[in-house]
Chain A
Amino acid sequence: DVKVTQSSRYLVKRTGEKVFLECVQDMDHENMFWYRQDPGLGLRLIYFSYDVKMKEKGDIPEGYSVSREKKERFSLILESASTNQTSMYLCASRALAGFGGGFFGPGTRLTVL
């Protein structure tokens, strides 16, 4: 019954490291999203992809990049991790508009020391 999986549940990295977070969905959804969730700030969109190799910036893209080489896989890259990127990262996928709310992955709790 697995729908959206994320590569790690918990991750600890050092400042300056390059970090890869992977998300895979098995529902053939067109749209995939990366959010971060912080107390008091809610869910904030980092990047969005609506098709293979297509991406759009969300509200807070600075310090992040993404890659979508295959429809089922959407990767979030922290080029040079910083302590203010310590957060819960949630991936989501959703079919085209009008087809429900989609599914979220279990999240990755990233700590940058």
Chain B
Amino acid sequence: EDKVVQSPLSLVVHEGDTVTLNCSYEVTNFRSLLWYKQEKKAPTFLFMLTSSGIEKKSGRLSSILDKKELSSILNITATQTGDSAIYLCAVPQGGSEKLVFGKGTKLTVNP
């Protein structure tokens, strides 16, 4: 059964800290891994990583795919209170278009 596991489930840091969020996956016919940020409402898309694009960066956020370890990390440097959110990782299931999500990491950034 395909699955996606995120760790830690929750994390509390202070502004300015750097955080690393983890996502591991077990899927057949892996094609891509996606990261989303969910604040109070719906998730918004951050990054998509594939075999041909294993590293992405946008401002203070960056993500790397490790196909050998079947995992990905999401790094946030110099965290701000606005980074407080649930970060979700998802992988298309079994070669289809169905996205399977992990349970998410709840990040709280305190001032």
Taking Cβ atoms with an 8 Å cutoff, the residues of A that contact B are 30-31, 33, 35, 40-45, 48, 50, 56, 58-59, 90, 92, 94, 96-98, 100-107
Contact = CB atoms under 8 A, between A and B. Distances in A.
Contact of A45 (B31, B36, B99): B99
Contact of A98 (B36, B50, B96): B50
Contact of B36 (A56, A101, A105): A101
B100 to A, nearest CB: 7
20 contacts: A35-B101, A41-B103, A42-B88, A42-B103, A43-B88, A45-B99, A48-B97, A48-B98, A50-B97, A97-B97, A98-B32, A100-B48, A101-B34, A101-B36, A101-B45, A101-B90, A104-B42, A106-B41, A106-B42, A107-B41
A31 B93 CA distance: 14
Contact of B45 (A45, A56, A97, A103): A103
A8 to B, nearest CB: 14
Is chain B's interface secondary structure helix, strand, loop, or mixed overall?
Answer: strand
Contacts of B90: 43, 101
B48 A101 contact: yes
A56 B42 contact: no
Contacts of A50: 97
Interface string B31-53: 11010100001111111101000
Contacts of B104: 42-43
